[in-house]
Amino acid sequence: MERSEKRLKQRLRVCVATCNRADYSKLAPIMFGIKSHPEIFDLEVVVLGSHLIDDYGNTFRMIEQDEFDIRSKLHTIVRGEDEAAMVESVGLALVKLPDVLQRLAPDILLVHGDRFDALALATAAALMNIRILHLEGGEVSGTIDDSIRHSISKLAHYHAVCTRSAERHLISMCEDHSHILLAGCPSYDKLLSAHQRDDYTDIIKSWIGDDVKEQNYIVALQHPVTTDIQNSIKIYELMLDALISFNKRTLILFPNIDAGSKEMVRVMRRKGIEQHPNFRAVKHVPFDQFIQLVAHAGCMIGNSSCGVREAGAFGTPVINLGTRQTGRETGENVLHVRDADTHNKIYHALELQFGKRYPCSKIYGDGNAVQRILKFMQSINLSEPLQKKFCFPAVKECISQDIDHILETQSALAVDLGGTNLRVAIVCMKGKVVKKYTQLNPKTFEERIELILTMCKQAMADAVHLNCRILGVGIGGGIIQHNELIHGSTFCAAELGHIVVSLEGPECMCGSHGCIEAYSSGLALQREAKRLHDEDLLLVEGMTVNNKEQVNAIHLINAARLGNSKAESILHTAGTALGLGIVNILHMINPSLVILSGVLSEHYENPVRQVISQRALLSAQGTKVMVSELEDPALLGAASMVLDYTTRRTY
């Protein structure tokens, strides 16, 4: 007996609340799945909303016919079919739901979609600390449904979505990614397995007529748009006129219970649709039969989500009228008539779509949604804290008004990884280099990284004594766009020194040939200076080199200044190579200004300008070239990225 009680206690108590015929078509496959695993789940069914209204077919009976035990029936609809009645219906549901939810005490409440009844369910459950699993959140459509759907998503703890786009929308709404399941639409499980029934012709005959053949009739289903009731009534009237003129047998379903539905029914009766020989007007069709009727129709018309979702699974042509489904993902079978303001537009759309067949679409599911949802529910940890958490995007941490922070100087570490030297500096907010460290750049990658870390650690330690608060580390060299550093897919963007400017150029340290660095870097010029010195072609009158002194780029520059033609030629070639690389950059990103910096910049300025004037496109030839007057522009530029980003205020 104890073991039996323990087993029952371990079952997951799932309450499924259904409000209307449409959401039951999505919830029923899950309910059957839950019911088939009594050892895991304990199913409680609550029925409310238009299910219990005679004018809408008393659709709670189909739930009973499916042999589900309805634990509670709540009459929550205030009649009137206007905006005030919708609000009063939500209020009435909120009055009645607490008693039911307290009595059933579910572990999880399943809520579907975007109806006002569902909003009442989610509100009550959230306030009563009941976990909510929301189906079909994150989707986009027209009318007030969007706002209601997103409101339910914010109240829900878990989400089962139909499409990848819906998943992304929820993530962008700060929902926890680990609580979102990309399941697909549950109704697709039934659609993809049952739409080829052998008795579909009998179903067509029973609902539309004995003389009607497949693909030779229309299914019409149009609902009011609660944010634009008068226009939706006008579109409904135009649709009926177009259908009458088109002269095809039509199954037309009554609209849902939203504000404006009463007026739409009046329009339908004023036009005599219920007595018209071409029309069969019905309040409800069982979903399994409705599937057959849509699957074999010549066309479906209206603004029901069924047209943009379920009909795509069969390739049935659809005409979507108005804005109610604006934003929904659709297959190629849907023709939108968003501005359906004339009878002729709708009639022409019928001519274009009727009788066509399109490839079947699986945008909303692959037939395996239910098993995914059941597995997802089993994974829910009921011992986790009930308070849901939102995953907000990272924002800058507020700096507390501590006296130490006030007295500290906000600073950055800047790193300049040059060809000859590796430099690290502490740079303050005012652009002043507080302290600078310089070391010869090692030859191997591993040694360079180790030296960078060592120098940065030393600088961090010194920063404490210098009363500098390091906000981040910046490395010179890169492309900045909209105040953001471009990294690239593998973090090697803006390796500008390795732009190839000659196919047969000197070998570069990267292993390639003809890179800018192989011509214009300090190491490249040092190599050329050493070559000239070894050939006794470097020194001219007024120059001396100590035997213990290492020949470098400075010696080459001095030789050029003193009239050494070979040194001048090398510097000109280096400047030309740099100019060619800059021309490539101008053509790629089109900057407004080129700033040259470093000891070689004044020697490169004229060759670079000359190459730009000769080689650049006409639109880029006017790009200004100037030499930086700053002492350490690379270090200051790297530091400015850190200081700007970490102190930026976003409004």
Output the known binding site for Zn(2+).
498, 508, 510, 515
**Dihedral-angle region of residue 363 (phi above 0 means left; psi in -120 to 50 means alpha; beta otherwise):** alpha
Q: What are phi and psi of 344, to 5 degrees?
A: -65, -40
Amino acid at 594: V
Which of these, 272, 309, 271, 277, lies nearest to 291 by C-alpha position?
Answer: 309
Q: What are phi and psi of 221, to 5 degrees?
A: -150, 105
Pairing of strands 70-74, 41-48: parallel
Bind-site residues: 498, 508, 510, 515
Which of these, 640, 260, 261, 591, lies nearest to 476 by C-alpha position?
Answer: 640
Sequence-ordered alpha helix ranges (H) in 76-137: 83-104, 116-127
Amino acid at 628: S
Token pair listed for 255: 């609209």
DSSP 575-620: HHHHHHHHHHHHHHH--SEEEE-STTHHHHHHHHHHHHHHHS-GGG
Token pair listed for 312: 């795509």
- Report d(CA 394, CA 284) in Å as an integer: 49
User: Exposure pattern of 179-196 as b/e (b: 16+ CB <10 Å)?
Assistant: bbbebbbbbbbbbbeebe
Which of these, 595, 613, 593, 614, lies nearest to 604 by C-alpha position?
Answer: 595
Lookup result for tokens 């009554």: 254
